[in-house]
Amino acid sequence: MSAERRSHPVYVAPIPRFWWVRTAPFRRFVIRELTSVFVGLFSVVLLLFLLALSRGEQAYRGFLDWLDQPGIVVLQVITLAAVLYHTATSIQLASQIQEVRLGGRTVPRHLLMAAMTGGLIVASAVVAYLTIEL
């Protein structure tokens, strides 16, 4: 009895305009998706950094001064919070999707998450070393 062949009326409930405000899981989902805006934003910041670098020393110093502004630092802190939530949820989701088998047995999910978190720490340390010490 699909719509074309139905011989009786049916009631189709309308979806609320902002359906995602209604339940906590939906709200958490939307916050998770919003973190991608901050991800894109930081890509742009990196790009502006490189653009300033390509324009010579004066432009570069100007960009560093821009980074010094309190308003920009606040934005970066918010960006960091958003990106860390993105990282946490990505690890959560990836650990569900990716099955890793070692020696014929599946690695339990919490171990996978711990390994990925370890990966984050190692990657951060390597980035810090290469950026600051090298």
Partner 1 sequence: MPDGTVVLKVARYRPDRDAVPTFSEYEIPYRDDMVVLDALNAIKDDVDGSLTYRWSCRMGVCGSCGMMVNGEPRLTCAVFLREFRPKPVVVEPLRYFPVIRDLVVDISAFLEKLKEVKPWIVREEEQSVSEGEYLQTPEQVEAYKQFSMCINCMLCYAACPVFGLDDDFIGPAAIALAHRYNLDSRDQGRDERRAILGVHWGAWDCTFVGECSVACPKHVDPAVAIQRTKLDIATTSLKSVLWPFGGRK
Partner 2 sequence: MAHAEGPPHPVRSEPFYWLLFTAGGGVSAFLFPAHIVILGIAWAAGWLPDDALSYERVLDLVQNPLTKIYLFVLIVLPLFHAAHRIRYGIRHELRVEENKHIVASACYGAAYVGTAFTLWVLLRI
Which parts of 69-128 interact with partner 1 (CB under 8 A)?
A: 93, 96-97
* Structural contact between residues 86 and 35, judged by C-beta atoms closer than 8 angstroms: yes
- For 106, phi then psi, to 5°, come to -80, 135
Verify binding: residue 40, partner 2, rule CB under 8 A: yes
Least distance from partner 2 to the Cβ atom of residue 104, Å: 27
Residue in 5, 68, 101, 110 binding partner 2, rule: CB under 8 A: 68
Single out the residue of 89, 81, 101 nearest to residue 30, CA to CA: 89
The letter for the amino acid at 76 is: Q
Single out the residue of 90, 106, 88, 85 nearest to residue 38, CA to CA: 85
Length of the chain, in residues: 134
* Site residues, partner 2 (CB under 8 A): 17, 20, 30, 33-34, 36-37, 39-40, 42-47, 49-51, 53-54, 57, 60-61, 64, 67-69, 72-73, 75-77, 79-80, 83-84, 86-87, 90-91, 94, 119-120, 123-125, 127-128, 131-132, 134
